[in-house]
A and B are shown apart, each in its own frame.
Chain A
Amino acid sequence: MGSSPAAVAPVGGARHPYAPTPYRVLSRVSETADTVTITLAPAGGAPIDAHRPGQFNMVYAFGVGEVAVSISDGGRFPAPLVHTVRSVGKVTHALAGVVPGQVLGVRGPYGRPWPTEPAEGRDVLVVGGGLGLAPLRPLLQELLAHRERFGRVEVIYGARSPKDLLYYPEIQSWRQRTDLRMQVTVDAAGRDWYGDVGLVTARLADVRLDMARTVAYLCGPEIMMRTTARDLVDRGIPEEAIWLSLERNMKCAIAQCGHCQFGPVFVCRDGPVFAYRDLRRLLAVREV
């Protein structure tokens, strides 16, 4: 674990597109049984470029591999990088098991961010499912940092169970705010849960926004985004006012390898944030 940072330093002053920048693990916080949030700071060298909400980095566990991970905190540059990782494969298992002091490689930031300009002066609806809250969190932080620019803001967050909710302390603080309305729902729960149970789409009926003047941001399992976007259009949100973030198997992150190709688009370069209007037909095609 933790190779020498010198082994991956830029050569000849110009950073090779595939060369990771060494970052040291500052902290590791368990979110759920299989998901952790890690905080990283440059391991002595220059940091990577500033990021925008919705972008992602390629995070490299030396000797194991590299994966795309959303940036899950909107801290202003050059604040430490924050990534929330769910252990589902070899690389993410290694990343979820890091310890403070360990060195990882980081390339990025990549991808198109959440566009917030279209939401200025309008109501905002943010809908997240499961780990999909991670790339939405910096967006929410930005909305709240410039709260006066937006109308009413509502959040719907769905998870598998109460034990699978991310950022629980932050959710509690969001729910106490008077300038933000947040609904939390889970797929199933025991008797110690007094919140809502059901899909995020079931909570849409309780949204109190002016739908014709609302901009929506969605991230979560694809089937959730598809059904939610469809319901939102039925409820009056224009297609062009719905934005969603796709997850695909990204390898190079610079639109060279084709691993993340989704029909005619490369998710790493053209996304991961897309306008629903541009993706609606593709989302309905099987096996794309």
Chain B
Amino acid sequence: MTEPLHRHESALRIADHPFLRGLDPSLIESLSEQAVERDFDPGEFLLRDGETADGCYLVFHGKIALEVSAPDRGRLTIQTVGPGEILGWSWLTPPYRWQVDARALKHVRVVRLDAGVLRRTFTELPEAGYQFLLRLLPVVAHRLENTRIQLLDVHGV
């Protein structure tokens, strides 16, 4: 179910999200172009491994499982993402392809920012792109650090 947002309403909602809170309102207004609010029922996929990464999701409600397939272990959830978090950054750099499946565990409500709008905005306004990256990189770094610790299997030794 996809529901385009009223332009002013989306700017307000997106501005409320912790990931974007405090960003220049005019930039938020630009990013909200083509933004859509989306709901997903439990079990529905937000994105699939290998598909084109064409959006960035601001999570407002629910819980999302990031899944990979592992030989002899089936589908594995490697991380969950919840309210206040951001889902997806593969839209930022080529080849713009998702690397995991993201599946709703509970009813999920997100705002999807259009990848084309994001990239175009950041090309035209490099300062805005830098501000966005300053927020995105800590998320990526934190997840990388978590993955490293998970690889150590500290609970299993």
Bound pair (A, B): yes
**A residues at B contact (CB < 8 Å):** 129-131, 158-160, 164, 185, 187-191, 193-199, 201-202, 205-206, 220-221, 223-224, 227
A202-B141 Cα distance, complex, nearest whole Å: 12
Contact A129-B154, Cβ < 8 Å, known A196-B63, A197-B65, A199-B149: yes
Decide if A160 touches B155 in the complex (CB within 8 Å).
yes
Residues of B within 8 A of A224 (CB): 149, 154
B79 to chain A, nearest CB (A): 5
Residues of B within 8 A of A130 (CB): 154-155
B156 nearest CB neighbor, chain A only? A160
Set B66, B80, B154, B156: member contacting A223, Cβ < 8 A: B154
Instruction: Count how many chain B residues have C-beta atoms less than 8 Å from C-beta atoms of the other chain.
Output: 27
Decide if A199 touches B146 in the complex (CB within 8 Å).
yes
Set A188, A201, A205, A223: member contacting B77, Cβ < 8 A: A188
Give a binary string over B56-95; 1 marks a CB under 8 Å from any A CB, 0 the rest.
Answer: 0000000101110000011111111010100000000000
A178-B103 Cα distance, complex, nearest whole Å: 30
B87 to chain A, nearest CB (A): 13
Interface centre among B73, B106, B149 (most CB of A within 10 A): B149
B3 contacts chain A at the CB level, 8 A cutoff: no
A188-B156 Cα distance, complex, nearest whole Å: 12
- Name the prevailing secondary structure of the B interface residues: mixed
A139-B50 Cα distance, complex, nearest whole Å: 47
Decide if B77 touches A190 in the complex (CB within 8 Å).
yes
Decide if B146 touches A188 in the complex (CB within 8 Å).
no
Residues of B within 8 A of A193 (CB): 77
Interface centre among B66, B67, B74, B155 (most CB of A within 10 A): B155
Decide if B75 touches A196 in the complex (CB within 8 Å).
no
A90-B149 Cα distance, complex, nearest whole Å: 27
A30-B95 Cα distance, complex, nearest whole Å: 49
A231 nearest CB neighbor, chain B only? B142
A242 to chain B, nearest CB (A): 19
Contact A187-B106, Cβ < 8 Å, known A198-B79, A201-B146: no
Residues of A within 8 A of B145 (CB): 227
Decide if B78 touches A190 in the complex (CB within 8 Å).
no
Set A164, A187, A195: member contacting B150, Cβ < 8 A: A187
B153 contacts chain A at the CB level, 8 A cutoff: yes
9 closest A-B pairs by CB: A221-B154, A130-B155, A160-B155, A197-B80, A197-B77, A189-B77, A199-B146, A196-B80, A198-B79
Decide if A188 touches B155 in the complex (CB within 8 Å).
no
Interface centre among A188, A198, A205 (most CB of B within 10 A): A198
Contact A197-B78, Cβ < 8 Å, known A129-B155, A164-B155: yes
A189 to chain B, nearest CB (A): 5
Residues of B within 8 A of A202 (CB): 79, 142, 146
Give a binary string over B121-157; 1 marks a CB under 8 Å from any A CB, 0 the rest.
Answer: 0000000000000000000001001100110111111
A160-B156 Cα distance, complex, nearest whole Å: 7
Contact A194-B150, Cβ < 8 Å, known A158-B155, A160-B156, A205-B84: no
B105 contacts chain A at the CB level, 8 A cutoff: yes
Residues of A within 8 A of B80 (CB): 185, 195-198
A205-B138 Cα distance, complex, nearest whole Å: 14
Contact A190-B155, Cβ < 8 Å, known A199-B146, A206-B82: no
Decide if B146 touches A190 in the complex (CB within 8 Å).
no
Decide if A187 touches B153 in the complex (CB within 8 Å).
yes
Decide if B105 touches A194 in the complex (CB within 8 Å).
yes
